[in-house]
Structure 1
């Protein structure tokens, strides 16, 4: 079962990402995991998928994925010029990463404080998601998320 609007938990996560983007003055947000999977993104548009792909290539190289799975943490602030991807990211739940993109530079300290406040809500919504391939498919993932 693919995750989408028919899954209330996914819709709630998408709405939380939308609210975060709005409050932060960002342009997009996503939840990805240490395996490189995209769990949820806002806005849901083909123009935001390349942002996630570039983030995964740049920040979640194999050594960082392994480190996350082993209890490591990821915190990244990349306030770049408008011609580059400008983002803030923080890991949670052992394997997930919340990424918030901006158009141009941003105040890292101010936005990191905002992300820390929002992270518990995003984490709760993410771990509440049903497994995308049905109830039995996620037994291992549910244990890993717990």
Structure 2
């Protein structure tokens, strides 16, 4: 477990991850060329979810959500912001932005650290939604 600021920075450096908004860490594995995901946009993603200590929880899950409506865990929402359609990103989410002390019984342990592997399939901005 990484338990110091220096330890976290070293871990991120070794894993080639950047520190994102709200304390997430991410690595763009493929940059997209489409629209940019930002607050107010509706995004369609495909993701696989892994536990920090190994083990896949979900695979190739499609989901559409509106950034800012809090319909997904905060870490995933923050992690998708700034991506461009067609891009792929690995997002590491601490428990404070996921399921916290409760976890999800039989799936995600209490204080579980999660890793999402996300492909941003599409972005629809507010302007195009209202036209």
TM range (shorter): under 0.3
Structure with the larger helix share: 1
TM-score (norm 2): 0.25
TM-score (norm 1): 0.24
Higher relative contact order (CA 8 A, sep 6+): 2
